[in-house]
Structure 1
Amino acid sequence: MRQLNVLAIDLAKTKFQVCKRTPGGQIVYNKMVSRAKLTELLATEKPSLVAMESCGGTHHWARYAKAQGHQVKAMSARKVKAFLQGHKTDANDAEAIAIAATQPQVKACRLLSKDEQCQQSILRIRELLVHQKVASTKQLRDLLLELNYPIPVGDSALNQAVPEILEEAENGLSSDFRAVLSEQWQHIKVLWRRLEEVERRLTHQASTDVICQRLQQLEGVGPVNAMSLKTVLNASEHFKNSRQAAACIGVTPVQHSSGGKERMGAISRLPGHKKLRSTLYEGAMAVIRQLAKREARTVKEQWLQQLIARRGKKVAAIALANKTVRTAYAMLKNNTDYQPVMLAA
């Protein structure tokens, strides 16, 4: 890799800064090019190490560069920033990317195929629809509560209450507010239908994908978690071991060790895949709620019950999420199915 020229690209939408650096560290050029010129440049340059920050457009340009015979290294912007010299300009950014790409300690980010990007995009759209639905229904509940209409929790209760409020002619609501309320109610119903359709397609994708089918054998893993785990862990060679995979998602404790003394803290709220960690936690809590109603059937469930007794449900849920990620990594790396160890009858 060190014997190749480095083509460092500071990505943007239409104007790209490209810095070409020799293996000896000499800058050949550092210029701004258009989108069409970048396509031409990657096609005409001899095989090089194409480096870029992991941001919008990274996966497309990485796939294109690989198709032209280049090696690709996409890096976290946080890692690249340490090599920035001088003020923040496009030229300095591109030069920092070129320097960072030659450092072996700067780890490359994962690159997704187009199919994986499509699956990830379905998850992102679903996530946005869920946020919009929650925000819209909460606002509607709060406004009606202020007007002395307390509505029980749940979409079914809201679906029953709002039409009754709109049909009640003697409730003193102004005509303008009644019209706006009706329009907002129609908007919420559209959100429900769109979310239901996206989840239907998501479930279909997970049911026809062999990897997602295997991952759904794990405790607390449904279509959403299965597709998310596949997207993050499918390139198993990206991680040295299962602990690195768990740390990438953010379900390992933060370490602050010095002087030979190891100090392990709580999980960090900053790094990692926050949404996947959140859904894994929700899935783990669902497993814990079900386990409270029956006896343990597997060795893992027995371990989970003992952990709940010692540390509580929330710590146990994070521990189960950690174990789920590690098991999923092993399944994808070894191409095996999940085989829980059953307790003796």
Structure 2
Amino acid sequence: MNKVTIIAIDLAKNSFQVCKFNKGNSVAYNKAINRKALIELLGKHEPVVVAMEACGGAHYWARLAQRHGHQEKILQARAVKGLQLKQKTDKNDAYAIGIAAQLPHIRPCCVMSEEEQGLQSLERVLTLQIKQRTALINQIRGLLSEFGIVISKGIRNLVKSLPDVLEDGENGLPMNYRQALYAQSEWLKQYTEQIDGYDKLIAEHTRHHSTCQKLSKLEGVGPQVALGLTVRLGNAQEFKTGRDASSCIGLTPKQHSTGGKEHIGHISKFSADKRLRSLLFQGAMSVVHKVVLREPRTVKEQWLKKLIERRGKKIAAIALANKTVRTAVALIKNNDDYQPALLAV
């Protein structure tokens, strides 16, 4: 009897497709099982490689496989899709996952702990609240402009102006919309209070997290950026070099080379961690604005100021964000503290 080497799982909510590979890459079986049967399979089976695609619930199943002595592999969906040559079915998906798990050049994603996943969930909740508040603000401004009421930019100006708009009986607002506008103003207050609360909660967790404290010393890195980097990088063993990490986040230019000719383009608009990249860029821009107004104090600021003069502020900010990610990887891997190199006086 051939020994099982890989169990490939196409994850879902209740029905899971499991493909078992024997030694020699022959398929023992490829069948659908329910959640209870999958838990029993992982608990009773001898330790093997358990591979799955990165999706909802992948980290939960990977941690469960770890607890039962299995070697887990979470694979990027894009890597698995490139190996699926037939029609898209659950059987073909599970088979492609098993094949991808055997290829040495496809590196698995790191498995997040429950604490790290909780921090990620906290950041996701904050992101959703910000999006909902932004959508509400845009709707209020758009509807008021239809009645000729224009309010200056900024959340503070809108919050400050809404009571006056509601109390003004001669501004042309009909009573039916005035009632809805009052409800919207109350929602806006609630969103703002919730966002402030999440900001304080994130700041509190980052103060008590060793990796977040380490990364917070980097230029342009605040609590949200430190949290995002901590969750995304993990123990940084997923990345061979710092450039791999910055490329994964989307801070390196795309390359389209052929025939010995290299063509370097712009940073990717799609293959990126857009939320984290946006936060890194905002933090880097704040550093750029400060460096422009004063003399550089460190070697990195000296490099940044020269880059701003050559290429402009935005490109310099992306370069600084790229360097920040690379430095973060080195700090996590080497368990070092960040100490900027000061210029000689």
Structures share fold, TM-score greater than 0.5: yes
Deviates more, 1:208-217 or 1:141-150: 141-150
Q: Distance in 2 between matches of 1:139 and 1:289?
A: 32
Q: Distance in 2 between matches of 1:308 and 1:18?
A: 53
Is residue 4–residue 21 contact of structure 2 (8 Å, CA) maintained in 1? Answer: no
- Could you tell me how far 1:248 is from its partner in structure 2? 1.2
Amino acid at match of 2:189: K
Is residue 245–residue 326 contact of structure 2 (8 Å, CA) maintained in 1? Answer: yes
- Could you tell me how far 1:157 is from its partner in structure 2? 1.2
Give the match for residue 198 of structure 1: 198
State the SS of the aligned residue for 2:237. helix
Q: Distance in 1 between matches of 2:279 and 2:242?
A: 19
Q: Which runs of 5+ in 2 are unaligned?
A: none
Q: Distance in 1 between matches of 2:74 and 2:149?
A: 53
Amino acid at match of 1:294: R
Give the match for residue 107 of structure 2: 107
2:323 is the counterpart of 1:323: yes
Residue-by-residue CA offset, 1:1-28 (whole Å, 9 max, x unaligned): xx86111100000110111111212211
- Could you tell me how far 1:109 is from its partner in structure 2? 1.5
Identity %: 47
Give the match for residue 211 of structure 2: 211
Amino acid at match of 1:126: L
Give the match for residue 279 of structure 1: 279
State the SS of the aligned residue for 1:171. coil
Q: Distance in 2 between matches of 1:204 and 1:150?
A: 38
Q: Distance in 2 between matches of 1:238 and 1:168?
A: 59
- Could you tell me how far 1:257 is from its partner in structure 2? 2.4
- Could you tell me how far 1:343 is from its partner in structure 2? 1.2
Q: Which runs of 4+ in 1 moved over 3 A?
A: none
Q: CA RMSD in A?
A: 1.3
State the SS of the aligned residue for 1:156. helix
Q: Distance in 1 between matches of 2:210 and 2:97?
A: 37
Q: Distance in 1 between matches of 2:256 and 2:82?
A: 21
State the SS of the aligned residue for 1:37. helix
Q: Distance in 2 between matches of 1:307 and 1:209?
A: 33
Give the match for residue 138 of structure 2: 138
- Could you tell me how far 1:142 is from its partner in structure 2? 2.0
Counterparts of residues 1-345 of structure 1 (less than 5 Å): 5-345=5-345
Q: Which runs of 5+ in 1 are unaligned?
A: none
State the SS of the aligned residue for 1:153. coil
Amino acid at match of 2:147: L
- Could you tell me how far 1:238 is from its partner in structure 2? 1.1
- Could you tell me how far 1:180 is from its partner in structure 2? 0.7
Amino acid at match of 2:11: L
Residue-by-residue CA offset, 1:169-212 (whole Å, 9 max, x unaligned): 23332111111111111111111111111111011111111211
- Could you tell me how far 1:85 is from its partner in structure 2? 4.0
Residue-by-residue CA offset, 1:66-103 (whole Å, 9 max, x unaligned): 11111111111111122224321111111111111111
Q: How many matched pairs?
A: 343
State the SS of the aligned residue for 2:140. helix
Deviates more, 1:82-91 or 1:201-210: 82-91
State the SS of the aligned residue for 2:115. helix
Q: Distance in 1 between matches of 2:62 and 2:252?
A: 30
Is residue 4–residue 47 contact of structure 1 (8 Å, CA) maintained in 2? Answer: no
- Could you tell me how far 1:308 is from its partner in structure 2? 0.6
Q: Distance in 2 between matches of 1:162 and 1:77?
A: 46
Amino acid at match of 1:264: I
Tell me the TM-score normalised to structure 1 length: 0.96
- Say if 1:339 and 1:4 are closer, same or farther in 2 by CA, change over 3 A: farther
Tell me the TM-score normalised to structure 2 length: 0.96
Q: Distance in 2 between matches of 1:15 and 1:241?
A: 38
